[in-house]
Structure 1
Amino acid sequence: MIGAGCSGSFQRARDIFGRSGLSVQKQQEVIQFLFHPDLGSLNILRNGIGSSPNSTRDWMNSILPVCPSTPDGPFNYTFDNDDSAQLALSQAALSLNPNMLIYADAWSAPGCMKTVGVDSEGGFLCGVRGTNCSSGDWRQAYSNYIVQYIRFYHDLGIQIHAVGPFNEPDYNPITYASMLSDGFQAKDLMEVLYPTVKASFPNVQVACCDETGARQGRTQLYELQKAGGSELFDIYTYHSYQSDPERPFNTPKQNWQTEWADGGGAWNPHWDVVGHMAEGHNWALYMHNAFVNADTSAYLHWQCAENDTGDNGLIQLAGDSYQVSARLWAMAGYFRFVKPGARRIEASSSVEEVYVSAFENTNGTFAIPIINAARFAYNVTIDLNGVKVKTATPYLTDNNHNVSRMADVAVHGSSFTALVEARAMKTFFLH
């Protein structure tokens, strides 16, 4: 297991830092809610690697303001020490958690490197199969571009943990940066990008390919492998918009769910009121299914926070006020207790409405999140299969509790019995 996270891309980090009136004090409170290990417990921040010529609401600045006409350059890179406020958000998150992981992901290559000549409107990277650009093969130039972004952060003392060259390459939104690719074309890029990244930053993980859904991701993974790209990535990434993670990905490498939110709904801060997909109780179940069904190691929400009436953010900002959604507490119900490096271990439930998973941390502690989807409470007996622990501390999340510590439960030998409230998530921390 790696952790949970969110993104400040598309200029939304600027919302956190007061673009719409949030005071400095409340900026700090929002950041604490998101990233403090004892609050939201998020430990992954997904930055967008910009490719656009300016910073309208959903665009992110390119580090190559003037695009050359050929892959030979010149490449006059520049960094504004702001990065659409993602730099400040990265620094703030790291101040709360020095082990914070930064995943830098590109929505597109700069326009000069693509078949359509702009970073929006989809198009393909020149040089991959199926393209015939008069300007030449831009795969190495794009790989160098991504490495330069890593270097700008590195020079400021911030280590990038992972990078990816695509965002939803199976979807063309027209209005913001996008770049299309199938798995065969992804292989053509990855065979250049992977060694280029490793040559400069051997410890940076290379991710692919952030498709719109898990099923779409499995299809693209099959194509990437069929083309000979099985060893050209370290992490396989997907989103959950188009399809759910119903079964494992056909790779021994980690898979991460790196973006999802309702996207089209009104702001919903609730745990369980009307059963909406964005409510915290359902979000906890989505995470359970990803971990148990698809062996997913990390789970990221779309935006961290934004000044908007929709529910794309974990926290809604409105002038100098904010509201925290229960989705954040669902994520904390896992990752306040499931630490990076933990391994998911076998767990099962004999009751259809009760969902259980279990994780062993590297220090020998255990986390057992249990989700009761029924509308009545259950007394559950947890059999630890011979594992001896001293204490079982439950943390309750429901309509009235946000990962609230409850009274310790007595452990008898290697089992204990405890109440799990209706429509609730209760995480048992065993130590």
Structure 2
Amino acid sequence: MIKVFPRHKLQRIDGFGGSFTEGAGVVYNSMTDTAKSTFLHWYFSEQEHHYSLARMPIQSCDFSLSNYEYISSVEDIKQGKLDFTRDKEHLIPLISDALCINPQMALMASPWSPPACMKTNNDMNGGGKLRSEYYADFAQLIIQYLLTYRRYGIRIQYLSIQNEPVAVKTWDSCLYSVEEETSFAVNYLRPLLEEQGMGDMEIYIWDHDKDGLVDWAEQAFSREENINGINGMAFHWYTGDHFAQVQYLSQCLPDKKLLFSEGCVPMETGDNVGIRHWHTYLHDMVGNFKAGCTGFIDWNLLLNSEGGPNHQGNLCEAPVQYDSKTDTLKRNHSWYGIGHFCRYVQPGARVTLSSSFDASLEEVAFANPDGGHVLVVYNRDACEKTCRVVIDDKETALTLPANGASTLVWHETGE
């Protein structure tokens, strides 16, 4: 039996989406008009996934064609000589086309690395740190980025300070301690946002794997100024479940958002690859939302049939991939897995209490702003499962095939 308690409401959901990267933009620009239209319809139309969240890099990331930065020297910032050529070519057209279909989509921007000239290793790759004497300059660069995008009709609502701030990567990366990240956020970036009339911008820290969430949060929010200046924690899934850490923070920091900001699966071949990828998405999404997650942003929205392009060879699967030789788009298992949530759970929904008698039946329930209710159930077992779904004084029977999922939607009488 699965029990749902629709009036026991928990955290608010901001939405679901994926990431605009230069790699995705390059593939998009290579597509025929028909393929572009289909891609945009699948992701952003009300009839399909209707994505309501998206993320993009500030400067280059691993899924760019190469390292690139908006300046060649710190003096360029003071003189207003920022070069957004790469963004204008590969990111802004794709983002603008998506916003034409869903203008209500909220956007998040994240740096993978400051410009090389501001770092201790003088390189966008390989870690290194942002030099303390350049905190103010890098904050100003981010402000100029936000203002430039606004001039193209793209308003960004969320910022994270650094993608994966404790990871040294062979691609674009930068290291911060908790003190360094929160100081940059609260003492440098937040005041400039206020000056520019962007005080409602949400700032997220961590933006890394779940296994480090609690340690980072406990240090960050031990200071009053950080509680007031930082809106939440962003996290990824690459080190496993760690749902207990998400749940602990949702209880200890109920006023802070817990946003899933990146996840992907590798390009693989062989038996049961699709089922493994399907499991990764369904299992993690159910577990995160049950634990207190407030939104979901997948990694690349679009890649080519090889899982690129990028400048480091760390290829991965995207929910939608394009084969230029045959001019065809392929929807992978992840696209359908995400669809069990994003097609039915509206921005502003609340997670509601639910429970299952069988650990192999993973479930999470939502109450939508329009009065509707949603229950997603995933059968992670290798055999068919049948159960009763009980909602107050009503019930229904549900049968799920092996590794199958089902989404139930209903309105309560009188709503």
The normalised TM-score by structure 2 is 0.84
Q: Helix, strand or coil: the match of 1:93?
A: helix
Distance 1:286 1:354 in 2: 13
Alignment partner for residue 65 of structure 2, among 34, 37, 57?
57
Shift of 1:341: 0.6
8 A Cα contact 1:81 1:87, kept in partner: no
Of residues 17, 22, 26 in structure 2, which corresponds to 1:5?
17
Q: CA RMSD in A?
A: 2.4
What SS class does the counterpart of residue 117 from structure 1 fall into?
coil
The residue correspondences of 1:312-327 to structure 2 (distance < 5 A) are: 312-319=317-324, 320-327=327-334
* Residue equivalent to 2:403: 423
Q: Aligned in 2, Cα 1:123/1:260: closer, same or farther, shift over 3 Å?
A: same
Task: Give the aligned partner of residue 10 of structure 2.
Answer: none
Aligned residue for 2:85, secondary structure, equals: coil
Runs of 5+ in structure 2 lacking a partner? 1-12, 308-315
SS at match of 1:289: helix
Q: Are positions 1:23 and 2:18 aligned together?
A: no
**Aligned mates of 1:123, 1:232 — CA distance in 2:** 25
Paired residues, number: 379
1:195 to 191, 194, 211: 191
Question: Which one of the candidate residues 253, 257, 266 is aligned to 1:254?
Answer: 257
Q: Residue 245 of structure 1 contacts residue 289 of structure 1 at CA under 8 Å; is this kept in 2?
A: no
SS of residue paired to 1:322: strand
- Alignment match, 2:9: none
1:286 positional shift: 1.2
2:229 is paired with a residue of what secondary structure?
A: coil
- 1:13-70 CA-to-partner distances (Å, cap 9, x unmatched) read 111221xxx3221122122222223323322221111069xx96143x4333x31269
Q: TM-score, normalised by structure 1?
A: 0.81
Q: Does residue 68 of structure 1 match 2:64?
A: no
CA distance change for structure 1 residues 90 and 245 in 2, over 3 Å: closer, same or farther?
farther
Counterpart of 1:181, as a letter, is: Y
| In 1, Cα distance between equivalents of 2:28 and 2:76 | 38
Native 8 Å contact 1:216 1:243 kept in 2:
no
Give yes or no for contact 1:373–1:422 (8 Å, CA) kept in 2: yes
Q: What are the ranges of 5 or more consecutive residues in structure 1 without an aligned counterpart?
A: 128-136, 387-413
Letter of the 2:402 partner, please give it.
Answer: A
Q: Which runs of 4+ in 1 moved over 4 A?
A: 275-278
User: What one-letter code is carried by the residue in structure 1 that aligns with 2:211?
Assistant: R
Distance 1:331 1:51 in 2: 26
Shift of 1:298: 1.4
CA distance in 1, matches of 2:281, 2:127: 31
Contact 1:383–1:416 (CA under 8 A) maintained in structure 2:
yes
1:274 is aligned to 2:252: no
Q: Distance in 1 between matches of 2:373 and 2:129?
A: 46
Greater relative contact order structure (CA < 8 Å, 6+ sep): 2
Q: As a proportion of its length, which structure holds more helix?
A: 2
Distance 1:57 1:335, change over 3 A: same
Instruction: State the SS of the aligned residue for 1:104.
Output: strand
Matched, 1:146 2:142: yes
* Alignment of 1:366 onto 2:346: no
Secondary structure, counterpart of 2:298 in structure 1: strand
Give the C-alpha shift of residue 277 in structure 1. 7.2
1:364–1:169 CA distance, 2 compared to 1 (3 A): same
Matched residue, 1:126: 131
SS at the partner of 2:355? Answer: coil
Per the alignment, in what secondary structure is the counterpart of residue 76 of structure 1?
A: coil
